[in-house]
Amino acid sequence: MPLGCGELISVSLEFYQQKAKSIELLVDRVIDSTRRISLDLRPGILDCGIVAAVQWQAKEFSDRTGIICRVSCDNDEISLDADLAIAIFRVFQETLTNISKHANASRIQVKLVELEGLVLLEVIDNGCGITEIDMKKQDSFGIRGMRERCLQLKGNFHISGESEKGTRVTILIPTGDSECHSEQSYDLNNKFKEFSQSESVRKRKQISLL
């Protein structure tokens, strides 16, 4: 039986309403994808500085996973160029992701320090500890990507683990404040000892993010 005019209008209206909803969902997805791409290129939180960004990421991670994450920094802010800030932030994010996926940790200690034209980021967890076999897999746990980010900025990346005692990730990168620092490679262990022995590091401010 042919449909009346009223029924045709009703069917057409329902059809176009469904189409409109589909288009609206598609637009929302495009907006979300664009936002994610933008964040991947340069997270907006970095506009507040690397210290604030690391603190924010640690708190967000702790709230989301329930893993205690404490940040220690002896400066309210560390002045870095955009590429260096992004690299440090991305390594930090990747490290936290690895911890949440693989470490079975309950606590993380983060240290962010600037001294003598260098910036140090150290992340220590109390999880199961990365193994030698895992570390030899250069493409495992994003290790290759983190190492390459550091090398591109003439820095060092170091990761070590001990069974049932946790994993330590340390990066040391020149800030570019001096030509000397930007042109040479640094020995991570020796420089880290200098940081540890520094009065400013020993008296660094503890910031609880819980």
pLDDT digits (tens, 9 = 90+) for 79-127: 999 989 999 999 999 999 999 999 999 999 999 999 888 999 999 999 9
Same domain for 128 and 202, yes or no, is yes
- The region of weakest confidence among 10-19, 119-128, 167-176 is 10-19
Same domain, 177 and 100: yes
Verify that 59 and 23 share a domain, yes or no: no
Residues 24 and 60 placed together within one structural domain of the fold: no
User: Angle at which helices 143-152 and 82-98 pack, to 10 degrees?
Assistant: 160
Rounded CA Rg of the chain: 24
Could you tell me which residue, 86 or 6, shows the higher pLDDT? Answer: 86
Do 20 and 106 lie in a common domain? no
Strand order in the sheet with 118-125: 156-162, 166-174, 118-125, 107-115, 68-73, 205-207
Mean pLDDT of 154-176: 92
Are 85 and 120 within one domain?
yes
- Judgement on whether residues 36 and 50 belong to the same structural domain of the protein: no
Q: Tell me: do 172 and 74 sit in the same domain.
A: yes
Contact present, 92 and 54 (Cβ < 8 Å)? yes
User: Do 51 and 99 fall within a single domain?
Assistant: yes
- The total of structural domains in the chain comes to 2
At 14-63, the pLDDT tens digits run 777 777 777 877 776 665 555 445 445 567 899 999 999 999 999 999 99
Which CATH number belongs to the domain containing residue 139 in this structure? Answer: 3.30.565.10
- Residue 75's pLDDT band (boundaries 50, 70, 90)? confident
Q: How confident is the model at residue 7 (pLDDT cuts 50, 70, 90)?
A: low
- 140 falls in which pLDDT band (50, 70, 90)? low
Asked if residue 28 lies in contact with residue 36, where contact means CB atoms within 8 angstroms, the answer is no
Torsion, Cα of 51, 53, 55, 57 (10° steps): -150
Helix (H), strand (E) at residue 20: helix 5-41
Q: Would you state the pLDDT for residue 207?
A: 35
